[in-house]
Amino acid sequence: MYRKSTISVMEILEIALVAILSSNATAQSGQILDSGPIGAWDLTGYDEENTRWIGTAVLTRVSGETLTGHIDWLGSNGHCGREYVTGSYDPMIRILKMSGTRTEFSDRIVRGNYIAELSPDGSRLVNGRWSSIDPAIPGGWSGKRITFE
**What is the DSSP annotation of 39-104?**
EEEEEEEEETT--EEEEEEEEEEEETTEEEEEEEEEETTS-EEEEEEEEEEETTTTEEEEEEEEEE
Q: Please write the tens of the pLDDT for every residue from 38-64.
A: 999 999 999 999 999 999 999 999 988
Q: Is 114 exposed, middle or buried (0-12, 13-18, 19+ CB in 10 A)?
A: buried
Helix/strand/coil for 106: strand
What average pLDDT is seen over the chain? 83
Q: CA 127 to CA 7: how far, in whole Å? A: 32
Whether this prediction's pTM lies above 0.75 is answered by yes
Q: Please write the tens of the pLDDT for every residue from 86-103.
A: 999 999 999 999 999 999
- The answer to whether 146 touches 42, Cβ cutoff 8 Å, is yes
